[in-house]
Structure formats: C-alpha cells, structure tokens
Amino acid sequence: MTFDEYLVHFGDILAQPEKHAPYDNEEYLQYAKMNWTRMSRWTKRFEPSDAMRRYVDSITEEQHWIVITEPWCGDAAHSVPQIYQIVKNNQNIDFDIQLRDSEPHLIDDYLTNGGKSIPKLIIRNDVGHDKAVWGPRPEPLQAIFDAMKADNKPFEEIKEVLQKWYNEDKGVAIQNELLAMLA
C-alpha cells in the first residue's frame, strides 16, 4: 500500500480496533495509539538532511522502496515516516508499505537473526534486484537494544530508552546509514 493508504488503514484500526486483530487486544491498541502520535509528529516535523535530499534528488532510474511494518511497532513509528519524507518527492521512487503479518509474507526473506524484526526497508532497482536492505533500527540503537536485552532489562525500560534515543537522534543515524549503503 502507499503511505496514504497505510495512514487510512492505521486510522481504521484506531477507529474500529475490534475489526482488526491483534488490535482488539488493549495492549496492542495502546501501542498503536502511541505510534500514531509519533508517526504524525515525524510526518509533520522531519526534514531530510541536505546530503540525503541531494542523493535522493539524483536518483533518475526507477527504484522500489518497500517497507515491511505494522502499526504496533514502536521502531516503525519513527523510521517509516522518516523514510517516506526522504523519498516522497522523487517520482522515480515507488514507496510501498507491506504489512509483516499479512500475505504475502515478504518478511520471511528478510529475517534479522532468525526473527521477523521490523521495520525492514528493501530498496530494489527497476528489475527487482535488491540494492540495499536496512532495519529494523539504526545500528547504534541496535547495539543498545542488544546490550539491554542481554542484561535482561525489563521490556518497559528498553522501550523507554529506545524512544528517547529516537527523539534525540532526530533521524540522523538512519540517513547516514542509508547514504553509506547506497554510496
């Protein structure tokens, strides 16, 4: 789906959670509500760096940027709107959102350490060959996550650290990683 279609889908989940498993579960619904707020904030406030903008503006061949995500994903609430803002003005880039938990299960081809971690960004050329794969989160944050998980930190504590990191980083790390991968 397009980013706008994803927003409609997301809005429908919030309006009618009983029709969208797992959002009929209060915990998932609360995650989705928080993530809607985070996504809305990044969609309004995030501006790609000059270097990122120049790179994306220079893309003249057709590319497909596919993001695998779900509305319940806290990392996606930050990354997905940033990635969209990065590419939205280049007509040569097709931005597609696929849900991790719906057919087709593209995530099965892009596992992280054997798990279905999201978001995942797959950048393909016009003949369907992968140019780059990124995700589920910027490398410095992944290192923090892995260390906290190894120390058996409570998930609530991990989530708080991750959210604070995203707010302080303001999308710098993801842009630097994308530029390095695509250079």
Please state the rounded mean pLDDT for residues 35-45.
97
Burial letters for 42-65: b for 16+ Cβ neighbours within 10 Å, e otherwise? bbeebebeeebeebbeeeeeebbb
Per the prediction, the chain carries an average pLDDT of 96
Class of domain 3-136: alpha beta
Q: Structure tokens of 36?
A: 């809607």
CA distances from 160 to 27, 55, 71, 120, 166 (A): 16, 33, 18, 21, 10
SS3 175: helix
Q: What is the pLDDT of residues 66-107, one digit of tens each?
A: 999 999 999 999 999 999 999 999 999 999 999 999 988 999
pTM of the predicted model as reported, rounded to 2 decimal places: 0.95
Closest by Cα among 95, 100, 79 to 172: 79
Strand pairing partners for 115?
A: 112
CA distances from 8 to 3, 4, 30, 71, 158 (A): 9, 6, 18, 11, 29
Boundaries of every domain in the chain: 3-136
C-alpha 77/C-alpha 175 separation (Å) is 16
Amino acid at 109: D
Give 126's pLDDT tier (boundaries 50, 70, 90): confident
Give 181's pLDDT tier (boundaries 50, 70, 90): very high
What pLDDT sits at residue 128? 83
pLDDT of residue 127 exceeding 90: no
Provide, rounded to the nearest whole percent, the portion of the chain with pLDDT above 70. 100
